[in-house]
């Protein structure tokens, strides 16, 4: 067996079971690129500070580049007995270039090294997720643009509430996604402080320059407190919280579209290219992608809970438990990106069943609130107007009529405030046209929102 990089004080080698149980190379090799970036910055700093020679630095940098090439060409041998990505790379570097490689870990611990790698990885992951969010926003805005003017029932309690324009509804998701992207960027700003140089937990007496490595790696500044630097995992808790919120937004979209694709609603027709069938029922066409978007949100929440639970009982500073922080983060990122991409693809492959939607609009007295507003315009207190319209609805329900079917006599019988112009307020088209408040579903308001998002996202 090869001597461990930490083997000096040991008389026995570790058992196979323990080696297998404690390794992380099977998953943390995902960090290789960022590990190499961090090591290159560290080596350059060590040379500048006179802690290693210029020629040591040159061979380290050359060796690390060669390792990266090998990894990317699939020629690198990842060894479980070398435990993790950091020691795999360092041990291979030592085989390749000899003595200079043994100087690379000067004034560094795997504790600050792994955090540096992980933060660099998360920073890139955040950019990837933000790009996928934007891609979905564009798909939703395009869907909204191609359905301008389409009125759908709006729901509260899943009961018919008021008529809304479909683009208004779709843009609600775009707004949610915009906040998700904003939270990601906030999280990145707060995360972007460099742990490198904190060493095991206490820093070092060697004359390193933490500001130099921090800057070289694109961090805002070195972390102020070395103990905090190697213990901090709130940056990943925050990151996975943000992902969980995004996942929940997508899950709600998934639920809505699954519902709308049902026979009972029939508002949305997914194309065959985003549907799947049943192995027994020949007639079936299921909206599985959006069901799985809904389902996979569970994993993303689970990943967050894993991380929170992992950290809850840990004393400062580093504890090996923390090695368990990586898989949930990798899983969360992969899952959220998949959910965003599939939602965008689904959005690009659905049509709304205008005829079915149109037919459904008369049900549920969607114009009742607009009718109450009419009476307010005529001078009635809102509570009185509410009561009057309630009586009108009651009459409609008992006679199976729409509000617009009531005659002026019927209406006047309930309140003398009604006039012939009431019919300009009744029916869903009229009702939608009456909305005018900022952010409302009125066609002018929605047009300006659409215009905003179209300019923001579709023409850049
Ligand atoms: N593989 C370890 C992790 O991911 C690296 C740090 C190990 N540090 C240690 N003192 N054993 O946490």
CATH number of the domain where residue 431 is located: 1.10.40.30
Q: Give pLDDT, residue 358.
A: 96
Residue that finishes a domain, picked among 67, 84, 106:
106
Query: Same domain for 322 and 431?
Result: no
Q: Would you give the end-to-end CA distance of the chain in angstroms? A: 58
Residue 185 reports pLDDT greater than 70: yes
Q: Is residue 399 a part of any domain in this protein? A: yes
Atom index in ligand 1 nearest the CA of residue 322 equals 12
Give the separation between CA 289 and CA 261, rounded to whole angstroms.
Answer: 12
Q: What's the 3-state SS for the chain?
A: CCCCCCHHHCCCCCCHHHHHHHCCHHHHHHHHHHHHHHHHHHHHHHHHCCCCCHHHHHHHHHHHHHHHHHHHCCCCCCCHHHCCHHHHHHHHHHHHHCHHHHHCCCCCCHHHHHHHHHHHHHHHHHHHHHHHHHHHHHHHHHHHHCCCCCEEEEEECCEEEEEEEHHHHHHHHHHHHHHHHHHHHHHHHHHCEECCCCCCCCCCCCCCCHHHHHHHCCCCEECCCHHHHHHCCHHHHHHHHHHHHHHHHHHHHHHHHHHHCCCCCCCEEECHHHCECCCCCCCCCECHHHHHHHHHHHHHHHHHHHHHHHHCCCCCCCCHHHHHHHHHHHHHHHHHHHHHHHHHHHHCCEEECHHHHHHHCCCCCCCHHHHHHHHHHCCCCHHHHHHHHHHHHHHHHHHCCCHHHCCHHHHHHHCCCCCHHHHHCCCHHHHHHHCCCCCCCCHHHHHHHHHHHHHHHHCC
Cβ of 24 closer than 6 Å to ligand 1, yes or no, is yes
Query: Same domain for 55 and 121?
Result: no
Q: What distance separates the 2 farthest-apart alpha carbons in the chain?
A: 102
CATH number of the domain where residue 157 is located: 1.20.200.10
Q: What is the mean pLDDT of residues 50-61?
A: 98
Query: Same domain for 184 and 43?
Result: no
Residue that finishes a domain, picked among 353, 369, 402:
353
Measured from the Cβ of residue 342, the count of other Cβ atoms closer than 10 Å reads 20
Query: Same domain for 266 and 310?
Result: yes
Q: What is the mean pLDDT of residues 280-297?
A: 94
Query: Same domain for 82 and 209?
Result: no
Query: Same domain for 188 and 246?
Result: yes
Tens digits of residue pLDDT in 289-310: 999 999 999 999 999 999 999 9
Query: Same domain for 250 and 148?
Result: yes
Query: Same domain for 205 and 253?
Result: yes
**CA 58 to ligand 1 centroid distance, Å:** 27
**CA 85 to ligand 1 centroid distance, Å:** 10
Residue 448: which pLDDT band, with cuts at 50, 70 and 90?
A: very high
**Pick from 8-12, 116-120, 327-331: least confident:** 8-12
Q: Which residues contact 160 (CB under 8 A, 6 or more apart)?
A: 153, 154, 363, 364, 365, 366
Query: Same domain for 287 and 156?
Result: yes
Q: Is residue 2 a part of any domain in this protein? A: no
Q: Is residue 295 a part of any domain in this protein? A: yes
Residue 460 reports pLDDT greater than 80: no
**CA 370 to ligand 1 centroid distance, Å:** 64
Catalytic residue positions, numbered: 157, 278
CATH number of the domain where residue 59 is located: 1.10.275.10
Give the separation between CA 106 and CA 37, rounded to whole angstroms.
Answer: 16
**CA 40 to ligand 1 centroid distance, Å:** 20
Range of the domain at 400: 360-458
Cβ of 115 closer than 6 Å to ligand 1, yes or no, is no
Residue 7 reports pLDDT greater than 90: no
Atom index in ligand 1 nearest the CA of residue 84 equals 1
**CA 323 to ligand 1 centroid distance, Å:** 6
Atom index in ligand 1 nearest the CA of residue 326 equals 4
Calculate what percentage of the chain has a pLDDT beyond 90. 93
Q: Is residue 70 a part of any domain in this protein? A: yes
Relative to beta strand 350-352, strand 268-270 is antiparallel
Task: Give the CA radius of gyration of the chain.
Answer: 31
Q: Give pLDDT, residue 450.
A: 95
Query: Same domain for 312 and 368?
Result: no
Cβ of 114 closer than 6 Å to ligand 1, yes or no, is yes
Is residue 206 within 8 Å of 107, Cβ to Cβ?
yes
Atom index in ligand 1 nearest the CA of residue 114 equals 5
Query: Same domain for 253 and 340?
Result: yes
Cβ of 322 closer than 6 Å to ligand 1, yes or no, is yes
ipTM score for this prediction: 0.96
Give the separation between CA 456 and CA 425, rounded to whole angstroms.
Answer: 34
Q: Give pLDDT, residue 441.
A: 97
Could you give the number of structural domains in the chain?
3
Matching residue, tokens 């790009």: 131
Cβ of 411 closer than 6 Å to ligand 1, yes or no, is no
Give the separation between CA 388 and CA 394, rounded to whole angstroms.
Answer: 10
Give the separation between CA 203 and CA 196, rounded to whole angstroms.
Answer: 9
Mean residue pLDDT of the chain comes to 96
Q: Give pLDDT, residue 127.
A: 98
Query: Same domain for 47 and 154?
Result: no
Residue that finishes a domain, picked among 353, 378, 393:
353
Q: Is residue 1 a part of any domain in this protein? A: no
Q: Give, to the nearest 10 degrees, the angle between helix 234-260 and helix 110-145.
A: 30
């Amino acid at each position: 067996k090869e001597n461990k990089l930490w083997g000096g004080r040991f008389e026995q080698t570790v058992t196979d079971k323990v080696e297998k149980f404690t390794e992380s190379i099977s998953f943390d090799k995902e960090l290789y690129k960022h590990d190499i970036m961090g090591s290159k910055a560290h080596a350059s700093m060590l040379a500048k500070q006179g802690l290693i020679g210029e020629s040591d630095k040159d061979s380290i940098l050359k060796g690390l580049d060669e390792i990266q090439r090998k990894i990317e060409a699939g020629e690198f041998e990842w060894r479980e007995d070398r435990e993790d990505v950091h020691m795999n790379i360092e041990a291979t570097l030592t085989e390749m270039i000899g003595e200079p490689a043994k100087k690379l870990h000067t004034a560094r611990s795997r504790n600050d090294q792994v955090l540096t790698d992980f933060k660099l990885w998360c920073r890139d992951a955040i950019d990837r997720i933000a790009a996928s969010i934007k891609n979905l926003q564009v798909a939703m805005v395009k869907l909204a643009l191609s359905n301008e003017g389409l009125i759908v029932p709006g729901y509260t309690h899943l009961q018919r509430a008021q008529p809304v324009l479909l683009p208004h509804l779709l843009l609600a998701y775009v707004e949610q996604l915009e906040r998700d992207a904003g939270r990601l960027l906030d999280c990145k700003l707060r995360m972007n402080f460099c742990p490198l140089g904190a060493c095991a937990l206490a820093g070092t007496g060697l004359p390193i320059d933490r500001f130099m490595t921090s800057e070289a790696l694109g961090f805002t500044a070195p972390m102020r407190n070395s103990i905090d630097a190697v213990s901090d995992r709130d940056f990943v808790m925050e990151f996975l919280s943000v992902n969980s919120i995004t996942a929940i937004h997508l899950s709600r979209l998934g639920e809505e579209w699954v519902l709308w694709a049902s026979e009972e609603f029939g508002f949305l027709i997914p194309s065959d290219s985003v549907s799947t069938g049943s192995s027994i029922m020949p007639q079936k066409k299921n909206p599985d992608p959006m069901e799985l978007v809904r389902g996979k949100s569970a994993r993303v929440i689970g990943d967050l809970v894993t991380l929170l639970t992992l950290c809850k009982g840990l004393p400062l500073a580093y504890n090996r438990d923390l090695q368990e922080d990586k898989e949930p983060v990798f899983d969360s990122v992969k899952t959220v990106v998949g959910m965003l991409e599939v939602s965008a693809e689904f959005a690009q492959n659905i049509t709304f069943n205008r005829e079915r939607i149109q037919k459904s609009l008369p049900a549920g007295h969607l114009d009742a609130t607009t009718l109450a507003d009419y009476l307010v315009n005529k001078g009635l207190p809102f509570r009185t107007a509410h009561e009057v319209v309630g009586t009108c609805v009651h009459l409609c329900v008992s006679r199976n009529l729409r509000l617009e079917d009531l005659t002026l006599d019927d209406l006047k019988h309930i309140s003398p405030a009604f006039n012939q112009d009431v019919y300009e307020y009744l029916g869903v088209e009229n009702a939608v046209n009456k909305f005018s408040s900022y952010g409302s579903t009125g066609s002018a308001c929605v047009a300006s929102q659409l215009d905003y998002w179209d300019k923001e996202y579709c023409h850049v």
